[in-house]
Structure 1
Amino acid sequence: MKFNFIYYIFILISIAAHAQIDSQNKSRSIPAVESKKDSADTFKLLPSKPNQNNSFNGMTIPKSNSNVNEPKKEFSMFGETFGNPGELYEKQVNKNLESTKLSPQEVEQRNGSTTDQYFGDFKSNSKFVNVVYRDFGEVDGDLIQVRLNDDVIQSSVYLTGGFKGIKLNLQKGFNKIDFVALNQGESGPNTAEFQVVDDMGNLVSSNRWNLATGVKATIIIVKE
């Protein structure tokens, strides 16, 4: 009797397990429900009304200006007219041609003499002379060197608008004074005015020069 009871329980457990596995393998289909109206037709997109208040999120929107001048023609490298490249050098060429129309004296005045200048010889019984010089043109950095009988007395003198110079003791006979142009300043040429005054305050000689770089002006004082 006990054996029959156990047998029945075993059969019931087997049936329950088989039913559970069967229920997991079977799928349940859900029938599709046809919509009465497509959801895409539910809402229609309408254009928004223009903002009459000219504001957005509290900020004022500036009104468009219909009077703005727009370019009538788009920029293009094709079909454009460009100037003659030779015009870039026209001024320089004209300046060079202008020099050919000047007299030799005018050219020398503009560009400076390229030959040494001799301003004469003068007699004096003085023991010494004062030689002074200045830039009579625009003060532009002209430099000169002063020599006495080929000895350098002042190696480099910056010419200003006022006279300045040096005292030179005269020796018996010839006293050659050279003024050598070391440069032509910023505007050129080397322009200077000089004066030679004896020990009594008498003017022995005075003159001016326009020199190119390296050219010299010379004056001779003859002591009797």
Structure 2
Amino acid sequence: MRLYFSFFILFTFSLSTHAQVDVKKKSIAIPAVKSKDSVDAILFLPSKPNSNTPINNINTPRVSNNLNMPQKEFSMFGGEKFGNPGELYENRLNKSLDPLKLSKQELELKNGSTTDQYFGDFKSKAKFVNVVYRDHGYVDGDIIQVLVNDDVIHARVYLTGGFKGFKLDLQPGFNKIDFLALNQGESGPNTAEFKVVDDAGTLVSSNRWNLATGVKATIIVVKE
């Protein structure tokens, strides 16, 4: 019995000793060794990122340092180009001085007469005359009003490129015919050509006008 007990104690001790040896072997710490390769890797890292190296399988765009970007010049004068900014003001000044440079006749041709025009009086023995008129310039919407002895005969007449008009029975004495410009069309001034022809087909009078809005041209036919 004692022999069996002694053998049990010896067996238990041997297991404990073997376990301690295994624990000691497993807990041995291995000192870290600093690799020279890691130092060298840090020293030779590129100072700038390589634009050709893919990152996560995505190619980064190549950036050029020599981009020629278009430059738009800033101008205070809109789309007009002048060698000298003073030219802009000079041109505007010249336009404002045009009325001082042009003669009265030239201004009337350009802007239309601002005073009533009188084309004279003519004697006739005819019973009637035909009064016709048309736009002698570009047909741009000129409109006139026709009056005889201050009575409105045609309130609004749109002038076209062809002659149109009316027959006027002459009264003894003065027969005053007025052509009143109601507008200046699209291009201005109000431009027209008129003719007065008697019952025998004889031309009594003809002329042209260039009128500003509200101005009239007058002719008088005196029946003998």
Return the TM-score normalized by structure 2: 0.64
User: Post-superposition shift, 1:180?
Assistant: 0.5
1:153 matches 2:153: yes
Determine the structure 2 residue equivalent to 1:90.
90
Determine the structure 1 residue equivalent to 2:167.
167
Determine the structure 2 residue equivalent to 1:189.
189
Determine the structure 2 residue equivalent to 1:15.
none
- CA distance in structure 2 between the partners assigned to 1:200 and 1:35 by the alignment: 138
- CA distance in structure 1 between the partners assigned to 2:218 and 2:117 by the alignment: 6
Pairs within 5 Å for 1:90-169: 90-169=90-169
Pairs within 5 Å for 1:28-107: 36-37=32-33, 41=38, 70=68, 87-107=87-107
User: Post-superposition shift, 1:98?
Assistant: 3.0
SS at structure 1 position matched to 2:186: coil
- CA distance in structure 1 between the partners assigned to 2:138 and 2:210 by the alignment: 12
- CA distance in structure 1 between the partners assigned to 2:175 and 2:90 by the alignment: 50
> Deviation per CA, 1:125-158, whole angstroms, max 9, x where unpaired?
2222111111112222211110011111111112
SS at structure 2 position matched to 1:161: coil
Alpha carbons of structure 1 residues 33 and 173: separation in structure 2 relative to 1, 3 Å? farther
> Deviation per CA, 1:77-123, whole angstroms, max 9, x where unpaired?
xxxxx987665443332122233122222222222212111111112
Q: What letter matches 1:120 in structure 2?
A: G
- CA distance in structure 2 between the partners assigned to 1:136 and 1:64 by the alignment: 68
Aligned residues: 181
Percent sequence identity over matched residues?
66
Runs (4+) off by over 4 Å: 30-35, 37-41, 44-51, 62-66, 82-89
Return the TM-score normalized by structure 1: 0.64
For the 8 Å contact 2:52–2:62, the answer to whether it is kept is no
Determine the structure 2 residue equivalent to 1:202.
202
- CA distance in structure 2 between the partners assigned to 1:32 and 1:124 by the alignment: 145
Q: What letter matches 2:109 in structure 1?
A: Q
SS at structure 2 position matched to 1:160: coil
Q: Which runs of 5+ in 2 are unaligned?
A: 1-25, 75-81
- CA distance in structure 2 between the partners assigned to 1:32 and 1:152 by the alignment: 129
> Deviation per CA, 1:150-186, whole angstroms, max 9, x where unpaired?
1111111121222111222222221110000111222
Deviates more, 1:120-129 or 1:32-41: 32-41
User: Post-superposition shift, 1:50?
Assistant: 5.6
SS at structure 1 position matched to 2:157: strand
Alpha carbons of structure 1 residues 33 and 183: separation in structure 2 relative to 1, 3 Å? farther
SS at structure 1 position matched to 2:95: helix
Alpha carbons of structure 1 residues 211 and 49: separation in structure 2 relative to 1, 3 Å? closer
Q: What letter matches 1:70 in structure 2?
A: N
User: Post-superposition shift, 1:187?
Assistant: 2.2
